[in-house]
Amino acid sequence: MLQRIWAVMQKQFIQTLRDRRTLMVIIALPVLMLFLMGYAVEIQVDHIRTVVVDHSRDQRSWSFIEALENSGFFDVMYYVESQDEAIQAIDEGQARAAVVIPPDFLGAVERGEAQALVIIDGSDAMTVQSAYNAAITVAESYSVDLLARKLERSQPGAHGAALQPLDGRIRVLYNPDMKAIIFMVPGIVATILQNQATSLTAFSIVKEREAGTIEQLLVTPIRPLELMIGKLVPNVVVAFVNMLTILGLGVFWFKVPFSGNIWLFLWMALLFIVSSLGLGILVSTVSSTQAQAQQLVLMILIPSLVLSGYIFPREMMPKLVRFAGDLIPMTYFLQISRGIITRGVGLRLIWSQVVSLLIYALVVFGLSASSFKQRLE
Amino acid sequence: MSQGDVVVVERLSKRFGGFTAVDEVSFSVARGDVFGFLGPNGAGKTTVIRMLLGLLQPTSGCARVLGYELPRQAKIMHGHVGYMSQIFTLYDDLTARENIRFYGQALGLQRGELRRRMEEILTMAGLKGRENELTAQLSGGWRQRLALGCAIIHRPELVFLDEPTAGVDPVSRREFWRLIYELAHRNTTVFVTTHYMDEAEHCQRLGFISQGKLVALGSPEELKATVMHGKVLEIDCDDAERAAQVLRRSVELGEFLAEEVALYGARVHVVAADEDSARPVMAALLAKAGVQVRTIDTIPPSLEDAFISSIRQQNSGGILT
Amino acid sequence: MGDEMIVAGDLHKAFYSHQRGGRVEAVAGISLRVAKGETYGLIGPDGAGKSTMMRLLNGLYVPDAGRASVGGYDIVRQFQAIHRMSGYMAQRFALYGDLTVAENLCFFGRAYGLSAAECAERVPTLLRFAGLERFPQRLAARLSGGMKKKLALASMLIHNPEVVFLDEPTLGVDPVSRREFWDLLSTLRAERGLTIFICTPYMDEAERCHAVGLIYEGRLIAQGRPQDIRALLPGQMVELHTKDLRAAEIVTGVEGVLEVQTYGRLLRVFVEDAERRIGGLVGAIEASGIEVSGARVAEPGIEEAFVYLIRRQRQEGMHRP
């Protein structure tokens, strides 16, 4: 019996070692995952881009702002004149947080009734978490600090000093209750679209090639381009319907607010599907079996989830890793998706991502040009 | 059915849901014979072999191979039979030597014996000097000899060969059949399936299988004598196609009786119950159609004639046993 | 162009095979001509280059050297025109199992640019032609092997091509369906004057062609009418039945024996003046104690010619540096 087990083992080893492609995937995939986890995954977000509205511009307000900056979580970029401007900066994606300090901060602190408002971009779960916690922590510690100084200078209880001289208010934009589903929906939509468009496309092409029936079709007047379009359009329709279902459920059942223009969103979704289709065709040009195509699609899916900014913030990733994320269409669409659904912005503010998707589609279709050849080789 | 029978099958059936793949098949194979199983793809040949190998559970009926009951005693039986399927036996990503070694080990050969048999098989297959090439690089004739070698490395008493010569060049086919005959000479029983009619001529006994049923069973001579209902007339003329068309139409019109009119190579074969009356009628018809006839001879029927005749009878309702 | 449908001049096509470590010539200088209305058979084993030739003629591959035309259209520059006037049945032909018989025919009709009305008009005729008129609504996957091939043939005819290319259309199919398939082909030739270019590994099908090309390892080792090819065999053929294969060696040594081929238990001996010499041959074998159970002078077939030519080819190959 042992000999037979040995015989099968020996054969299996030989076969595995000879299958270069699978070997590469087996060795490369865990390494890839580890690097992804190591560099891309970061729960905490720091150096959040912040704008400041300072109606006091006195020593106290400056020291509070300094405290926020020193925490490492907030990077003050510039000052604006009003709260509305601050919110607009967040809408436009220029900043992820804003600090609003009312007038006479100094006086209010002395009286023990100061207030400060921190506004946070609510479209991104991680940012919200970090900024929220950071803001509260800084405000509280600043409070404690103020108290300590007061106690140094006077007797306890002399002023009936409020135990919390600084009341830090946090306001989360777009998703005030910080409901997970609101974070998730734009991301789920993007994931579904990319995954379905890519895998359905890759499989349907590779399957035809595996069965060898493409040859028969090439000798009819059907042109390769026509064949592609005819094959792919049903997939597009399926993916679209799926997306609408998810979106519908999200909006009407889970009450996810859809703040932007639905038509703009649908057009963008179409553009995204086309890019993902192109990616699928590219996968099919390098796969000769459905199993290979499946492996490749998996190798695209996992980094897509990690690198696109769906779960983990891109700002925290080192440059090289962020560049890897630039190679995935989902990265761009996610920003578009969050922009339109959660923040309600228009084309003006997402045009760079749109252009990126267009370029992506062109590049990918260009690379797959070999699939549109009239001949077998 | 005698004591020396290595395979005994009684009313074997296999149903998949509503579909009957094998329908009450019964036959036996004597030791040392070359037994052929003939029939088109989808007729049930592979299903029967799988049941004989214990890979499928029969729906009803029983099968015994080398005295072992199937599928209950299949594992024990596996050590005593060989199985070759050209498509499924060989691992393309192993070399010839690695393939032989794997099968040798799997079939229980130990060191000294294993090494000796490996060399013998390589020689038999003519692969000495090529044994470290990947199997994927070997072409048809070599592959079948290698596959056969892997199947008989443990010197089994019975070998199942599933369509062993499909698509291979005729020289290699002949060399392969020479190997089969050498095996049979050494008292190994050979069970072969094929859809090459001419190969069937060289089996001691044959079974015709069609649509799951055994439509005929016997030696080639027996089959040719009993299955045919008429004689085969071969017409040698200058336009075989026209001749066939003319004759077919007259049969349809009832101008004379014939069971079959078919093109056979460049000649026409007509199967008629009464050759003596058919001959002059056909000569006249062809002359009228302007076809120049050289000869009309009665020839011994080929197995293909017999097979086609039995299938036609099956389709029209009469089944032979 | 005259009355030639297909003309090929010194076609070469090689592929890079990383398993064989280099370029392998699948087609190594093939020239042929097929007249209009003729049936041309390219006969040879797997891997000889038949499919590559087919694909070259259909514009699916670009030749490394040489030129060819079909219907006057160049295979490199005008392959789309070739597609419009020809039909091609690839080995793995595209029948969509999840579509019905009628839907498959319609799909190909529309693919070839027929309007819905034209499709509706031609489909019933084609169904009758293929013997499928009772099954228009059946899913293609549920058809038997033979019926699938007939459907594939019908699909390829819907746009009324002038020439059809068939790549091993009868592989694995039962002999009844095979005959029916060839009957369909002769009807096509008779009624439409269709030119047929067919590849097959079955030697007996070669006999039904007007012209035959024997292809082996990328070259045509013989070409011509079936009778011309058979004439390449030396002398006449004597068929001897014997159980012992050593008889082959014995009879090879007999004076005047030009060629000896074995096939299972049959010995085929080629000598001049066969009728006279048959007794002497039998005597020579029986003198060695081997029984001869039957002997007759018989007509050789294309297969015997092929074996003869291949063996000669291999011998010459061994003498080359």
Domain ranges of chain A: 12-41+178-371, 48-163
- Which residues constitute the domain of residue C172? 4-229
Q: Is the distance from CB of C145 to CB of B41 less than 8 angstroms? A: yes
Contacts of B244 in chain C (CB under 8 A): 186
Which residues of chain A approach chain C closer than 8 Å at the C-beta? 211-222, 374-377
Residue C176 C-alpha, separation from nearest chain A C-alpha, in angstroms: 26
Pairwise CB contact (< 8 Å): B170 & C303? yes
pLDDT of residue C196: 95
Q: Mean pLDDT over residues A159-165, rounded?
A: 58
For residue B92, the distance in angstroms to the closest alpha carbon of chain C comes to 11
Which residues in chain C are contacts of B171 at CB distance < 8 A? 307, 310-311, 314
Pair of tokens at residue B243: 């001749």
* Dist CA C29 CA C14 (whole Å): 11
- CA–CA gap between residue A294 and residue A282 (Å, rounded): 13
More confident residue, C28 or C290: C28
pLDDT tens digit string along C176-224? Answer: 788 888 888 888 888 888 999 999 888 878 888 889 999 988 999 999 9
Q: In this model, does residue A280 exceed pLDDT 60?
A: yes
Average pLDDT over residues C69-93: 91
Kindly report the nearest CA distance between residue B249 and chain C, in angstroms: 13
Question: Measured between CB atoms, which of A213, A374, A376 is closest to C94?
Answer: A213
In a domain? residue C308: no
State residue B118's pLDDT score.
Answer: 92
Q: Do C68 and C216 belong together in one domain?
A: yes
DSSP state of C80: H
Q: Count of H helices and E strands in chain B?
A: 11, 14
Mean pLDDT of B232-261: 83
> Which residue, among C145, C91, C198, C83, has the nearest Cα to A213 in the 3D structure?
C91
Cβ pair A269, A329 in contact under 8 A: no
Note whether A215 contacts C83, CB cutoff 8 Å: no
What confidence tier does B3 reach under pLDDT thresholds 50, 70, 90? low
B272, HSE (Cβ side, Cα atoms, 13 Å): 26
Query: Helix A20-35 crosses helix A290-307 at what angle (to 10 degrees)?
Result: 10
- Chain mean position to CA B85: 13
| Mean of pLDDT over chain A | 85
CA C186 – CA A346 distance, rounded (Å): 69
Return the pLDDT at C41: 95
Two structure tokens written together for C196? 């047929």
**Residue range B265-305, pLDDT digits in tens:** 677 888 887 888 888 888 888 888 888 888 888 877 778 78
- Angle made by CA atoms B257, B266, C180, in degrees to the nearest 5: 60
| C310–B170 C-beta distance less than 8 A | yes
Q: Do C263 and B177 touch (CB under 8 A)?
A: yes
Nearest-neighbour CA in chain B from C77: distance (Å): 33
Query: Does residue C212 sit in the same domain as residue C243?
Result: no
Q: Tell me the average pLDDT of chain C.
A: 87
Q: Is C300 a residue whose pLDDT tops 50?
A: yes
* Residue A244 at interface with chain B, using a CB cutoff of 8 Å: no
pLDDT at B319: 36
Asked whether residue C314 is assigned to any structural domain, the reply reads no
Chains with 3+ CB–CB pairs under 8 A to B are: A, C
**What is the model's pLDDT at position A156?**
56
Query: How is residue A183 written in tokens?
Result: 């974070």
Tell which of C191, C206, C229 closes a domain: C229
CB contact C201 to B (< 8 Å): yes
Residue pairs between chains A and C whose CB atoms are closer than 8 Å: 54
For C40-75, what is each residue's pLDDT tens digit?
A: 999 988 778 999 999 999 999 999 999 999 999 999
Task: List chain B residues with CB under 8 Å of A3.
Answer: 105, 108, 110
Does residue C311 sit within a domain? Answer: no
What tokens does A83 get? 């709260």
pLDDT-based confidence at B173, cuts 50/70/90? confident
Q: Note the pTM of the prediction, 2 decimals.
A: 0.78
Return the residue in C27, C52, C53, C55 with the most chain A beta carbons within 10 A, the one to mutate for interface testing: C55
Q: How far is A209 from chain C (nearest CA, A)?
A: 11
Burial string for C65-74 (b: 16+ CB within 10 Å, else e) reads ebebbbbebe
pLDDT at residue B321, rounded to an integer? 30
Same domain, C168 and C282: no
Asked whether residue C141 falls in the same domain as residue C201, the answer is yes
User: Does C104 lie in the same domain as C72?
Assistant: yes
Residue A148's pLDDT band (cuts 50, 70, 90): confident
Contact: C92, A220; criterion CB under 8 Å: no
End-to-end CA distance of chain A: 48
Q: What is the per-residue burial (b if ≥16 Cβ within 10 Å, else e) of A244-265?
A: eebbeebeeeeebebebeeebb
CB pairs under 8 A between A and B: 28
pLDDT confidence bin for B9, thresholds 50/70/90: very high
Q: Which of C176, C245, C310 sits opposite B178 (nearest CB)?
A: C245
Q: Is C204 touching B (CB cutoff 8 A)?
A: yes
| Nearest to B31, CA basis, from B188, B205, B181 | B188
> B35: Cβ–Cβ under 8 A, 6 or more apart, which residues?
B7, B29, B189, B190, B191, B192, B203, B204, B205, B206, B207
Same domain, C36 and C121: yes
Q: Tell me, yes or no, whether C310 lies in a domain.
A: no
Q: Are residues C119 and C179 in the same domain?
A: yes
* Closest in B94, B98, B105 to A3, CB measured: B105
CB contact under 8 A, C47 and B40: no
CB contact under 8 A, A3 and B91: no
Domain finish residue from C214, C229, C244: C229
What does the DSSP assignment read for A315-352? GGS-HHHHHHHHTSHHHHHHHHHIIIIII---HHHHHH
Are A15 and B93 an interchain contact pair (Cβ–Cβ within 8 Å)?
A: yes
What is the distance between the alpha carbons of residues A356 and B210, in angstroms, rounded to a whole number? 63
| Inter-residue contact A192 to A239 (CB < 8 Å) | yes
User: CB-CB: which of A7, A18, A19 is closest to B102?
Assistant: A7
pLDDT tens per residue across span C94-134:
788 888 999 999 988 888 888 889 988 999 989 988 888 88
CATH code of the domain containing C33: 3.40.50.300
pLDDT of A157 reads 53
Q: Determine contact, residues B195/B39, Cβ cutoff 8 Å.
A: yes
Nearest chain B residue to A20 by CA distance is B93
Q: Same domain for C80 and C180?
A: yes
How many Å separate Cα C269 from the centre of its chain? 26
pLDDT at A84: 92
Q: Return the pLDDT at C20.
A: 62
Same-domain pairing of C224 and C289: no
Query: How many Å from the N-terminal Cα to the C-terminal Cα in chain B?
Result: 16
Give the range among A306-310, A340-344, B93-97, B261-265 with minimum mean pLDDT.
Answer: B261-265
The residue-averaged pLDDT of A150-165 equals 61
Q: What is the CATH number of the domain that holds C264?
A: 3.30.70.100
Percent over 90 (pLDDT), chain A = 14
Interface test with B, best of C174, C186, C243 (most B CBs within 10 A): C174
Question: How many folded domains does chain C comprise?
Answer: 2
Do C261 and C155 fall within a single domain? no
More confident residue, C33 or C266: C33
Contact C93 A216 (CB under 8 A): yes
- Residues A200-254 have pLDDT tens digits of 899 988 888 877 777 888 888 888 888 888 888 888 888 889 889 988 988 898 8
Among the partner residues B91, B105, B108, nearest to A6 by beta-carbon distance: B105
Q: Are residues C173 and C38 in the same domain?
A: yes
Angle, alpha carbons C201-C205-C206 (nearest 5°): 85
More confident residue, B47 or C165: C165
- Same domain flag for C270 and C202: no
Does the domain at A48-163 match CATH 1.10.3470? Answer given as no
Domain boundary among C206, C229, C252: C229
Q: Which of residues 257-316 of C touch B (CB under 8 A)?
A: 261-266, 301, 303, 306-307, 310-311, 314
Residue C320: the pLDDT is: 46
Write out pLDDT tens, residues A325-374.
888 889 999 989 888 888 888 888 888 889 999 999 899 888 887 777 77
C239-270 pLDDT, tens digit per residue, is: 888 777 778 888 888 888 888 887 766 788 89
